[in-house]
Amino acid sequence: MKSLPLLFLGIFITMALSWSVVVLFPHQQMQNLTPASSDLTDDQEKPIGGAVYYVDGKPYLGKNIEGDDTFPVKLVGEAQRGKLVYEEMGCMYCHTQQVRRQGYGADFERGWGERQSVPRDYILQERVMLGSMRTGPDLTNVGSRYPAEWHYQHLYNAQITSKGSTMPPFPFLFEIKEVSENFGPSADAVDMQAYNPGPGYEVVPTQRAKDLVAYLMNLKQDYELPEIKFSE
Amino acid sequence: MSSNPSLVESINPSNGPVLDMRARLGEVDDSMRKPAMLFLVSAVFWLLAGTLLAMVAAIKATNQDFLGDSEWMTFGRIHAAHLNTMIYGWGNNIIFAVAPWIMARLCKARIRHTNILMLAGIFWNVALTIGILGIFKGDMIGVEYLEMPQYVAPIMLITYALVGVWVVIAFRFRQSEHVYVSQWYILAAFFWLPWLYSVAQIMLVFEPATGVVQSLTNWWYQHNLMGLWLTPIALGTAYYLIPKVLGRPIHSYYLSVVGFWSLAMFFAFAGIHSLIGGPVPAWVISIGVVSSVMLLIPIVVTAINLHLTVVGAHNEGWASPTMRFVVFGAINFTAVGVIGAMMSLRHVSETTHFTHFTVGHAHHALYAFFSMIMFGAVYYMMPRLLLKEWRNPFLIKAHWYMSGMGGILMVVALMVGGWVQGMQMNALDADGAPVYDFLQIVENTKPFLWARSMGGLMIMVGHFAFAMNVFWMIFSPVEVDKVTEPTLLTSTPDKA
């Protein structure tokens, strides 16, 4: 290498280019995304069947239909805290939160979603955990698939609901308590079937378990967006 | 090895008398002794810790009840701790030991004020320890490769800078006219890493970007940590060690230039292929796929260049501990690159994505390529720093066979297992329903995971042999007259 300034320039430019193209441009593109109703209208309040409409060949962003619900929705309360539990337990190493389009992989056939995930689905998430591994199933819509009790059992020991699963048990998210003589079993005690403690004892979820299950029950992409409809 | 004058000429053909040269290199080695050994010893400790964590994680992957009652030992945290221990503990420490040393030697620049390097080494490892404990404690950040809690990130960046600055200073005050290919790689890598790390920390942790821009940034960081930090350092090391040990120049200067620039150009965009099928704009993914395929250029070019340098010297190579590891790593650089290009194709990715295949690919790159070259560098560097020889060639052989074979077993098991997993995951019957139940696939993957654990066990044996030899050498007395007799693994290296 004869010219050192050229070497430095090259080292700088390769990095600057890749940062711009891979990170900054998409950042610029996605900044405009906001929660949307399932259809958008133009300024005449006519549905436009997409995200943009054109006046004299110029594109304009569609407007939300007045009074319709907009999606996605921000997590609040227990579900919001539950996401932190999901994060600190490293759930994302075995579970994804992204549905691929129909015909690419078998995400639809496995019942993991009714439509492909799109960038707008994630705009309100402080931490996006798409995941890169499916040792366990995709969780994008797990909130629609099972009742809360199923999740408690599954978290306490996955063998209760899914025999042969290799998911780690999370007994430390639960307390084993003596059943109160005066009041009987607690309201939120969960029947752990073969994994129930001895007679006179019950398994009660801690607040962290409740938060986590609230989060899981909130994992749903069961709405349509201007750019994506069911079965796409 | 060090007694052969032509070695030195191969690095810089235009320098003065050999004795003078050796004296100057001795001076450089002398100045680097303490900091390099601090980083090296830390690296070995982290390597052992990471190996143990890997074993625990591997057992848990098939036997989920193992240590299942402990929150600190839950799979997710062990996994994250293993990953960070290996990359920032083993990887970065060994780079901080080897790369500044190679840079200083090539620049013939004595490193001054090494106290600052020592300080950086202490801070780096303290920060790392806090970070790993933070993961266990539950402060883990849900971003792959950046799981260490945010309170250690600034310390790590600063201490990193304290190391990097000496690389730049050595380069600035270099005594040689010619700039060798290893110097480009090391200089570039030390420039790229802080950029990657600080951008990723800011856009993912301190001021998280909107939605899936986070995922793009994460994959940009993750892949470039491999491609623009570990890879250039490992290649720079290989470019330094192969001519040094064999005493012959690099095959082609021109090919090194092409290899360097094409690697920088294409690796920087390749990471996005990991989001194929994901909720990100299609045009970004297309760029990722195209550049991943274009990566074949630097991979083929560098492979030709390194392997043509080795051709015809196989007996010498086989006799040298350094060469065994470096050539093993170089061959796997080619293999991992070709497989990576395949995986980036959309219809291949449909199967391999979200499976153990990807895990296999990561270990292929980080272990069979990067780590093996770094082991080779340690076998070359320590005798020169400590003026002692390796105490036990058998331990070196054990390390090589166990790491080499264990590594291959692990990678093959994960890749074949991942392929089977992916095929079964996507298989549909005539009615369009999945052929395999999900739990059936979990069961079918287990034999491959057991094979992976076997590979891991072999690697662990190798690492303990390595560590034993390292500490044996450190604690043994200096024997001056043995210095010129390098450790060889075969008795008649010159038979060819």
Q: DSSP letters along A6-37, please?
A: HHHHHHHHHHHHHHIIIIIHHHHHHTT---B-
Whole-angstrom Cα distance, residue B400 to residue B325?
A: 7
Count helices and strands (H / E) in chain A.
6, 6
Q: Compute chain B's Rg from CA coordinates.
A: 22
User: What pLDDT does residue B493 have?
Assistant: 46
Residue B187: in which H helix or E strand, if any? helix B181-201
- Rounded to 10 degrees, the C-alpha dihedral B418/B422/B425/B426 comes to -170
Q: How far is CA B314 from CA A77, B308, B494, in A?
A: 66, 11, 10
CA B78 to chain A, closest CA, distance in angstroms equals 9
Which residues of A fall within a CB distance of 8 Å from B173? none
Instruction: Please name the residues between 92 and 151 in chain A that touch chain B, using a CB distance below 8 Å.
Output: 92-94, 96, 98, 100-101, 104-106, 109-110, 116-135, 137
pLDDT in tens, B365-391: 999 999 999 999 999 999 999 988 898
Cβ-Cβ contacts under 8 Å between A and B: the total is 210
Whole-angstrom Cα distance, residue B337 to residue A222?
A: 40
Mean pLDDT for chain B?
Answer: 91
Whole-angstrom Cα distance, residue A130 to residue A122?
A: 9
User: What pLDDT does residue A46 have?
Assistant: 82
pLDDT in tens, B53-80: 999 999 999 999 999 899 999 999 999 9
User: What pLDDT does residue B381 have?
Assistant: 96
Check residue A168 and give left, alpha or beta (phi > 0: left; psi -120 to 50: alpha).
Answer: beta
Which residues of A fall within a CB distance of 8 Å from B212? 26, 30, 119, 122, 128, 130
What is the DSSP-derived secondary structure letter of residue A47? B
Instruction: Please name the residues between 314 and 353 in chain B that touch chain A, using a CB distance below 8 Å.
Output: 350, 353
CA B261 to chain A, closest CA, distance in angstroms equals 8
Residue from A158, A159, A166 nearest B63 by CA: A166
Q: How far is CA B204 from CA A76, A166, B172, B219, B478, in A?
A: 21, 30, 34, 11, 49
Please tell me whether residue B408 adopts helix, strand or coil conformation: helix
Q: What angle do CA B448, B72, A193 make, to 5 degrees?
A: 75
Amino acid found at B200? A
Per-residue three-class SS string for A95-155: CCCCCCCCCCCCCCCCCCCCCCCCHHHHCCCCCCCCCCECCCCCCCCHHHHCCHHHHHHHH
Considering only CB atoms, B425 lies closest to which of A10, A106, A127, namely A106
Do B102 and B237 meet the contact criterion of CB atoms below 8 Å apart? yes
Residue from A134, A118, A117 nearest B426 by CA: A134
pLDDT in tens, B237-293: 999 999 999 999 999 989 999 999 999 999 999 989 999 999 999 999 999 999 999
Residue from A159, A153, A147, A194 nearest A174 by CA: A153
Mean pLDDT of A180-190: 90
Which residue out of A18, A21, A100, A156 would a mutagenesis test of the B interface target, given it has the greatest number of B Cβ atoms within 10 Å? A18
Judge: A7–B184 Cβ closer than 8 Å, yes or no: yes
Whole-angstrom Cα distance, residue B14 to residue A62?
A: 69
pLDDT in tens, A197-211: 989 999 999 999 999
Residue of A nearest to B351 (CA): A105
pLDDT at B5 over 70: no
User: What pLDDT does residue B14 have?
Assistant: 41
Residue from B411, B295, B413 nearest B364 by CA: B411
Instruction: Please name the residues between 65 and 84 in chain A that touch chain B, using a CB distance below 8 Å.
Output: none
Whole-angstrom Cα distance, residue B136 to residue B12?
A: 48
Instruction: Please name the residues between 91 and 150 in chain B that touch chain A, using a CB distance below 8 Å.
Output: 138-144, 147
Say if B224 is an interface residue toward chain A (CB within 8 Å): yes
Cβ-count burial B451-470 (b if 16+ within 10 Å, e if not) = bbbebbbbbbbbbbbbbebb
Amino acid found at A26? P
Which residues of B fall within a CB distance of 8 Å from A90? 74-77, 79-80, 140, 142, 147
pLDDT at B7 over 60: no
Considering only CB atoms, A164 lies closest to which of B426, B427, B439, namely B439
Residue tagged 């693994």 (tokens): B489
Residue tagged 């001076």 (tokens): B27
Among B17-26, B123-132, B471-480, the minimum mean pLDDT is found in B17-26
Judge: A100–B209 Cβ closer than 8 Å, yes or no: no
CA A146 to chain B, closest CA, distance in angstroms equals 16
Number of other CB atoms surrounding residue B394 within 10 Å: 11
Residue from B308, B25, B236, B425 nearest A110 by CA: B425
Considering only CB atoms, A19 lies closest to which of B64, B143, B199, namely B199
Whole-angstrom Cα distance, residue A161 to residue B234?
A: 47
pLDDT in tens, A16-59: 999 999 999 999 988 888 999 888 888 888 888 777 888 888 88
Instruction: Please name the residues between 157 and 186 in chain A that touch chain B, using a CB distance below 8 Å.
Output: 158, 162-172
- SS3 helix, strand, coil % of chain A, rounded to 5? 35, 15, 55
Residue A63: in which H helix or E strand, if any? strand A63-64
Whole-angstrom Cα distance, residue B353 to residue B422?
A: 7
Is 0.90 topped by the overall pTM?
A: yes
Of these ranges, A45-59, B105-119, B209-223, the one predicted with the greatest mean pLDDT is B209-223
Number of other CB atoms surrounding residue B143 within 10 Å: 24
Could you tell me the pLDDT band of residue B6, with boundaries at 50, 70 and 90?
very low
How many residues belong to chain A? 232
Judge: B442–A18 Cβ closer than 8 Å, yes or no: no
Which residue out of B62, B74, B167, B185 would a mutagenesis test of the A interface target, given it has the greatest number of A Cβ atoms within 10 Å? B74
Residue from B247, B238, B111, B236 nearest B174 by CA: B111
Residue tagged 């070259």 (tokens): B373
